[in-house]
Structures are given as structure tokens and as C-alpha cells.
């Protein structure tokens, strides 16, 4: 059985990727923020991959010098590339830090501040935080410039860039100036492009290149920005693009200097025959789902029932402490079963406890002896922890695995949704990970829109058990891996690496209607550096980190395996310059009086001095450890970019606080290490110091 693609590309396109304005927070509880005065957005889109640079000015009107925290509502699929700021007549660039970002908001308590309020709601589920250590002088202006890469949502030919520009809940003042510039390139013809709600925008479109420019003084930020464009539906197949980065500073791994991506999309017209589904919707109707969540669940289930296809077989299962099924088995979708299913849904009420294992005990055997030509799909959602039946995570996972094997169910995809803060994220992630699906976590008010929209993307499968290989086999490290099923109206974007330029044949195939299907495409892997495609290394790094992150999530917390994966993700993040869950932006300008709110174990990388860096034959690490740890064992590790520990040494503290340690560039086996980027990890008690070093040629 395939391992899951937890971040299924088609799924990521469903939800609007929300770009927005940043906030300079001084005191959350007292609602003290620096007012935004100017906002300039530049977007370069290459085949739906957007590089976004947002430059924003804030005025210190507090009457005194102040420190602040910059917060930005990053999208789920976006990855920050750089952050810089202009303060006291000078530009500064934030460093990448090998520690998770500090989520403590000034005046708002720990763990990301208060749980609700206009700022917290505005920042969403994936905020980017940056502590500015410098003081901002009274009556001065500070400018922040954030650059990130994002994959724009796509469905049935429509691509969307959405900017949450309604800022009125944060500030009432107008902006001195607002500007938006979008430059778009697409291999597929751009049929049209438009900017909603802003009639004075200047728009040009010559087919493969388009631009959109809008600017306004005294701008009232009370309307969102919604840029949409449509790609020609007759130009489908496979589009590829590649670049060769012959830059030794980007020698982060051994996969080669070539970076490629290609886009595959089936014909969305009626000419493409859709594979029928065997489909089960599992609904949590335990007591915690009461009120609006239960109403949204009923509405989402009704929406799905009303949008099943003729030829589909379906069932609906609800669970609390007991399990109830619409039907003992899957039934064909007809007008009669549709009416009866809607009646079943309307009678669902929230009550008692949560028996997750019982729900799967009912659902999975229903797929036994099912038609092998049909796509087998379960959508499962819950808002809580298991409190009846099997309640521990390993037990539930083992139970599902036994059910799948005993009932000989092949190629089943389970898509899981967690609703609200009470959902068991690890359990839901692992159910999807082990069953060819994906997991997603929603706010309490997002159930109806999210699940209804997601269903539309899996409504029409056209290729199952997708696979690909290259001839000659020059492309490696491709992501997503494994590939998801292919659905009508949705795209699959694959990224990969190569070591030499050449022409290769891509064999892309799977099964449809019980038959093997193969599509052959020829692509050219470029041997030249293309300045337009400089986003590709970071896009590949982002996809690689996502794959590793869900492997990390599947490990036992604090295990050696989890630590190794965390180190690998951090190494990729630091080398490629893409923020990860374990890294952050850091102000190393040396200014300001802000006291760090990190715990000692999070205060990483600041206390190691490296001489010289880059180095060739010998490097010296100078660091100081706290007095109370001066008798602890000191472990020094050198880690390569793949996360492998190549050198380790242990020393006894002997009461010393100040240390100077040399490394000759050789592994623990005495082998000369190759040129490139390495990471130093020094462990003393509960403190881990990390830094990055470069070994020259």
C-alpha cells in the first residue's frame, strides 16, 4: 500500500492562500500597534508559483522610543525567504536562526497571545513572528520588507491571488499610499486576468505574459484584493521548467545543481471520463460537536450527498459512543438513496462520547470485495479525542491497519479533518499518512466550507495509483512522493533534482477503469541558469521539508528518530533560506534593550563564535556554558546537510565555563570531509547550541 501524501497538492489549491498586511505589536491587550502608513505589494508569478515581496511602513506615534514584535499572517502553503527592515536610516537583514520562532506576543501572554481577538483572528493559524531588538525612535518610521514564495490555488483553470487587505479591525486610519503590481508568466495561454473591486487597475495581457498595476493615495484599507486569471483549457498535458544553479554557495547536498518542476493536468472537459467512487463519509456527532459545528457538519454532509456522481456507491456513518450507519453497506447513488441519506443527515444530533475506533470498525469492512475499478475514499472528521472504544493513538492505528488487512481492502484513501483545538493532530495525521490520504486542521467555523470545497476536488478521479519514472534516470528526489491520485480540474506539480543536463522521457501513468494507463512526455533538463526560475531551489527545499516534517510527526516525541528529522529539516531550512517549523528569523543587529524570552534550551546559535568561517583545514569553536552546567558532559557533533552526524566528540566539563574546541574537518573515522555547509551541535545538559559553518574547497 502506498504511504500517504499528507500535503496532497490538489488539496492545497482548495483554500484561498491569504496574503495580508503585517502588524507592529507593542501591547496586544491594550491594543497598541504602530499604524500602517504605506503598503506596496509586488508579485512575480511563474506558472502559478508566486514570489511575493511586501514592503510596509509604520509610524511610531506613541510619543516615546519603543520595541515591538512584527507579525504577519503567512499562508499555510507560503514559505518566507527573507525579512529586512529600515530603522534609524539604515537597512538590516534578519538572520535565519536554528530555533523555533518566539510566539509570545507583547502584552498578550504566552503561546501566541490571547486565544481570540481581532489581531489573533487576523493573524490566522500560520503567523510569522519577528522580535525587533532595536528601539524605534519616537515619531520615526520603520519599514519592513518580507519576501516569500507560495503556490497559488488552482481549480478548473482559475488561479487566484488573494490579499486580505481589509485592515479596518486593526486600524481606522487611511494609508498614505497603497500599490499593487503583479507580473505574470505562464506557459499556458492566459485567457483573462482581473482585479475584483478595483476598477482603475491597469491590466495588460499578451497571452503568455500579463501585468496588473494599481495605486492609490489616501487609501482606505477596507476591501480585500482578489486577483484571478484563467488559463486556456485547450492547452493541457505536461509543462516543465528547469534551471541549473552553478553556485558553490548553494552546495547544500549531493543531489546535483539542477532543479526542475513540471505540471500535469487532465482534460477538464466532458471528453475525460471520470472514474466512479466507493465513498464513505464518517461524521463525529459526539457532545462536543453541539451547536454550530453540528449544523455545519449536517450542511457539509448534505452538500456532498447532493454532489455525488451517478455510478458512485456511498454510505454515511455517524459516531459518538455508539455507531450509526445510513445503510448496512454501500448503496448506489440514486434519487431515492439521495433523499433517504439527506433525511438521515437531518436527524443527526450531538451527544455522548467519541468512539473513533468503532467508526472505522463499521466503515472499513464495507469496502471488502469492492469493485477494483472504482476509487475507494473515506472522509473522516472529528473535533475531539477518542473517549470510547480504543482510546490510545497506537491502538487506534493498529486497529485500522488490522481492519484494512483482514478485509483485504486495497488502495483505500482516508482523508482526515480535525476541527478546533481539541482534535488529536498526531492521530489524524498518522491515519492519513498510513492510508494514502491527507490530514487538515480547521477552525471551529471552517468545517462546512473546507470539507465541501475539498470534496469537489476529489469528486471526479481520472487516474489512480499514479506513478512516474524517467528515462534515462537522471531526475531524483522528486516530491510529492508518492504521487497522489489525479482528479479532473486539478493539477499535480512535481519538483525534483538532477546532476546533468539532458533530454529525458517522463513516463507518467496509473490505472483507470481497471486498466494500466501510461502517458509519455519528453522534457529538456536545462544546463543553464535561468534568472526567472531562481525560485525553484527554494520550492524544492520547501517540498522536501514538508515530506520530512510529516515523517517527524509520525515519530515518538523526543525520540532519536524525531531529533534526526528535526535536524535535517533545520539544515535544509538554513542552507536554502526557507523558514521551517523549527527555524525563525532573528535580529542580530546588536541594537535594543529587549530581554530574550526564550528558555535556555531555545537560546540556540548565539553563543558559539566560529573562527574562521568559511574554513579550509581547521576551525575553532568558542563558547561559554552556564556555571551550573560546568561539570556536565559536553557532546560536540558535526552534521552534514542530509542530517547525518559525521563527527562526534565528548568532553568532561571539569568545572570549566569557557571553552575553545578545534575541528580539523575530518569525520570520526579520519576521512576528509567534502566542501560545503555543515552544522555544529553542542549539547550540555538541557542546552543545545547550534551554528552553521562552511568548509571551502
Rounded to whole angstroms, the Cα distance separating 645 from 647 reads: 6
> How confident is the model at residue 604, as a pLDDT?
35
The distance in angstroms from the start CA to the end CA of the chain is 44
What is the chain's alpha carbon radius of gyration, rounded to the nearest angstrom?
Answer: 27
Q: Model confidence over 490-541: pLDDT tens digits?
A: 778 899 999 999 999 988 888 887 778 888 888 899 998 887 777 788 889 8
Cell of 64: 516615546
Percent of residues, the chain, with pLDDT higher than 90: 29
Domain at 599-695, CATH class: mainly beta
Q: Any alpha helices (H) in 434-533, and if so which ranges?
A: 447-458
Residue 96 has pLDDT above 90, yes or no: no
CATH topology for 9-231 is: Immunoglobulin-like (2.60.40)
Q: Which residue has the higher pLDDT, 606 or 547?
A: 547
Picking from 172, 175, 171, 211, the residue whose alpha carbon sits closest to that of residue 190 is 211
The total number of residues shown for the chain amounts to 697
Neighbours of 116 (CB within 10 A): 8
What are the CB-based long-range contacts (under 8 Å, 24+) for 649-657?
Answer: 653/625, 653/629, 653/684, 654/630, 655/630, 655/631, 656/630, 657/624, 657/625, 657/626, 657/627, 657/630
Residue 162 has pLDDT above 90, yes or no: no
> How confident is the model at residue 622, as a pLDDT?
87
CB 339 within 8 A of CB 256: no
**Phi and psi angles of residue 248, each rounded to the nearest 5 degrees, phi first:** -65, -20
Helix axis angle, 536-553 to 425-433, nearest 10°: 110
Cell of 136: 524605534
Q: Model confidence over 335-376: pLDDT tens digits?
A: 999 999 999 999 999 999 999 999 999 999 999 988 888 889
Please state whether the predicted TM-score (pTM) of the whole model is above 0.85. no
> How confident is the model at residue 626, as a pLDDT?
83
Lowest mean pLDDT among 277-286, 316-325, 550-559, 590-599: 590-599
Residue 5 has pLDDT above 80, yes or no: no
Picking from 568, 574, 502, the residue whose alpha carbon sits closest to that of residue 538 is 574
Residue 601 has pLDDT above 60, yes or no: no
Residue 8 has pLDDT above 60, yes or no: no
Q: Model confidence over 408-433: pLDDT tens digits?
A: 998 899 989 888 777 887 788 888 87
> How confident is the model at residue 696, as a pLDDT?
61
Spell out the domain ranges in the chain.
9-231, 243-271+462-546, 277-459, 599-695
Neighbours of 138 (CB within 10 A): 12
Residues linked to residue 497 through DSSP beta bridges, in sequence order: 259, 476
Q: Which residue has the higher pLDDT, 458 or 666?
A: 666
Q: Model confidence over 125-139: pLDDT tens digits?
A: 678 899 998 999 999
Q: Model confidence over 370-412: pLDDT tens digits?
A: 888 888 999 998 887 889 999 988 899 999 999 999 999 988 9
Burial of 472 by CB count in 10 Å (0-12 exposed, 13-18 middle, 19+ buried)? exposed
> How confident is the model at residue 116, as a pLDDT?
57
- The beta strand positions in 165-236, using DSSP E, are 175-185, 190-196, 202-205, 209-219, 225-231
Percent of residues, the chain, with pLDDT higher than 70: 89
Residue 141 has pLDDT above 60, yes or no: yes
Q: How confident is the model at residue 487 (pLDDT cuts 50, 70, 90)?
A: confident
Q: How confident is the model at residue 19 (pLDDT cuts 50, 70, 90)?
A: low
Torsional sign, CA 564, 484, 47, 237: positive
What DSSP string describes 222-239? -S-EEEEEEE-TT--EEE
> How confident is the model at residue 56, as a pLDDT?
93
CB 309 within 8 A of CB 333: yes
Pairing mode, if any, of strands 277-284 and 375-382?
A: parallel
Rounded to whole angstroms, the Cα distance separating 122 from 165 reads: 11
CB 649 within 8 A of CB 626: no
Q: Model confidence over 253-302: pLDDT tens digits?
A: 888 889 998 888 776 667 778 888 999 999 999 998 888 888 888 888 99
CATH topology for 277-459 is: Rossmann fold (3.40.50)
Angle of CA points 644, 647, 648, to nearest 5°: 110
Lowest mean pLDDT among 94-103, 140-149, 607-616: 607-616
CATH topology for 243-271+462-546 is: Immunoglobulin-like (2.60.40)
Residue 592 has pLDDT above 90, yes or no: no
Average pLDDT, the chain: 82
> How confident is the model at residue 18, as a pLDDT?
44
Residue 12 has pLDDT above 70, yes or no: no
Residue 112 has pLDDT above 50, yes or no: no
Domain 599-695 in the same topology as domain 277-459: no
Amino acid at each position: 500500500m502506498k504511504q500517504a501524501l499528507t500535503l496532497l497538492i490538489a488539496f492545497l489549491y482548495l483554500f484561498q492562500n491569504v496574503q495580508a498586511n503585517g502588524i507592529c505589536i507593542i501591547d496586544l491587550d491594550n491594543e497598541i500597534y504602530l499604524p500602517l502608513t504605506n503598503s506596496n505589494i509586488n508579485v512575480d508569478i511563474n506558472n502559478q508559483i508566486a514570489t511575493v515581496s511586501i514592503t510596509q511602513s509604520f509610524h511610531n506615534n506613541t510619543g516615546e522610543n519603543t520595541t515591538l514584535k512584527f507579525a504577519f499572517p503567512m499562508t499555510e502553503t507560503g514559505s518566507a525567504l527573507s525579512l529586512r527592515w529600515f530603522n534609524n536610516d539604515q537597512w538590516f537583514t534578519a538572520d535565519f536562526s536554528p530555533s523555533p520562532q518566539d510566539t509570545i506576543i507583547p502584552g498578550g501572554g504566552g503561546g501566541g497571545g490571547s486565544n481570540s481577538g481581532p489581531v489573533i483572528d487576523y493573524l490566522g493559524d500560520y503567523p510569522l513572528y519577528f522580535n525587533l531588538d532595536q528601539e524605534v525612535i519616537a515619531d520615526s518610521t520603520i519599514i519592513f520588507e518580507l519576501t516569500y514564495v507560495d503556490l497559488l490555488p488552482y481549480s478548473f483553470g482559475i488561479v487566484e491571488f488573494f490579499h486580505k487587505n481589509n485592515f479596518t479591525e486593526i486600524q481606522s486610519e487611511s494609508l498614505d499610499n497603497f500599490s499593487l503590481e503583479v507580473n505574470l508568466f505562464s506557459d499556458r495561454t492566459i485567457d483573462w486576468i482581473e482585479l475584483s473591486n478595483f476598477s482603475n487597475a491597469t491590466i495588460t495581457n499578451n497571452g503568455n505574459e500579463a501585468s496588473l498595476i494599481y495605486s492609490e493615495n489616501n487609501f482606505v484599507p477596507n476591501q480585500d484584493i482578489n486577483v484571478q486569471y484563467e488559463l486556456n483549457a485547450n492547452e493541457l498535458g505536461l509543462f516543465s521548467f528547469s534551471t541549473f544553479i552553478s553556485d558553490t554557495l548553494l552546495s547544500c547536498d549531493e543531489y546535483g545543481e539542477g532543479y526542475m518542476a513540471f505540471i500535469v493536468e487532465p482534460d477538464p472537459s466532458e471528453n475525460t471520463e471520470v472514474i466512479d467512487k466507493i465513498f464513505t463519509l464518517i461524521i463525529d456527532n459526539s457532545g462536543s460537536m453541539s451547536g454550530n459545528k453540528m449544523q455545519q457538519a449536517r450542511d457539509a454532509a448534505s452538500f456532498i450527498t447532493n454532489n455525488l456522481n451517478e455510478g458512485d456507491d456511498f454510505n454515511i456513518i455517524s459516531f459518538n459512543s455508539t455507531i450509526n450507519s445510513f445503510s448496512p453497506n454501500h448503496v448506489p447513488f440514486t434519487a431515492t438513496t439521495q433523499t433517504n441519506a439527506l433525511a438521515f443527515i437531518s436527524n443527526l444530533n450531538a451527544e455522548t462520547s467519541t468512539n473513533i475506533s468503532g467508526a472505522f470498525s463499521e466503515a472499513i469492512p464495507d469496502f471488502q470485495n469492492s469493485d477494483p475499478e472504482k476509487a475507494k475514499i473515506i472522509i473522516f472528521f472529528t473535533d475531539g479525542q477518542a473517549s470510547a472504544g480504543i482510546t490510545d493513538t497506537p491502538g487506534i492505528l493498529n486497529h485500522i491497519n488490522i481492519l484494512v488487512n483482514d478485509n483485504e481492502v486495497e488502495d483505500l484513501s482516508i482523508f482526515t479533518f480535525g476541527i478546533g483545538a481539541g482534535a488529536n493532530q498526531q492521530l489524524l495525521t498518522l491515519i492519513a499518512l498510513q492510508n494514502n490520504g491527507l490530514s487538515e486542521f480547521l477552525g471551529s467555523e471552517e468545517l462546512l466550507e473546507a470539507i465541501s470545497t475539498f470534496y469537489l476536488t476529489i469528486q471526479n478521479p481520472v487516474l489512480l495509483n499514479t506513478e512516474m519514472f524517467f528515462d534515462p534516470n537522471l531526475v531524483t528526489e522528486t516530491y510529492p512522493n508518492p504521487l497522489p491520485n489525479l482528479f479532473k480540474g486539478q493539477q499535480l506539480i512535481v519538483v525534483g533534482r538532477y546532476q546533468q543536463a539532458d533530454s529525458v522521457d517522463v513516463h507518467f501513468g496509473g490505472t483507470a477503469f481497471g486498466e494500466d494507463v501510461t502517458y509519455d512526455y519528453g522534457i529538456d533538463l536545462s544546463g543553464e541558469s535561468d534568472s526567472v526560475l531562481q525560485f525553484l531551489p527554494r520550492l524544492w527545499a520547501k517540498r522536501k521539508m514538508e515530506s520530512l516534517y510529516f515523517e517527524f510527526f509520525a515519530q515518538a516525541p523526543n525520540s532519536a528518530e524525531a531529533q534526526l528529522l528535526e535536524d535535517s529539516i533545520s539544515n535544509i531550512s538554513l542552507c536554502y533560506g526557507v523558514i521551517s517549523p523549527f527555524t525563525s528569523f532573528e535580529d542580530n543587529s546588536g541594537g535594543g534593550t529587549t530581554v530574550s524570552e526564550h528558555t535556555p534550551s531555545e537560546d540556540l546559535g548565539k553563543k558559539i563564535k566560529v573562527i574562521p568561517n568559511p574554513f579550509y583545514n581547521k576551525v575553532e569553536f568558542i563558547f561559554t556554558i552556564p556555571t551550573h552546567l560546568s561539570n556536565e558532559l559536553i557532546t560536540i557533533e558535526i552534521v552534514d546537510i542530509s542530517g547525518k552526524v559525521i563527527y562526534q566528540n565528548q568532553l568532561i566539563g571539569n568545572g570549566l565555563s569557557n571553552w575553545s574546541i578545534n575541528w580539523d574537518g575530518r569525520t570520526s573515522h579520519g576521512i576528509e570531509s567534502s566542501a560545503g555547509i555543515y552544522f555544529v551541535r553542542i549539547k550540555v545538559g538541557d542546552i543545545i547550541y547550534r551554528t552553521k559553518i562552511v568548509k571551502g574547497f
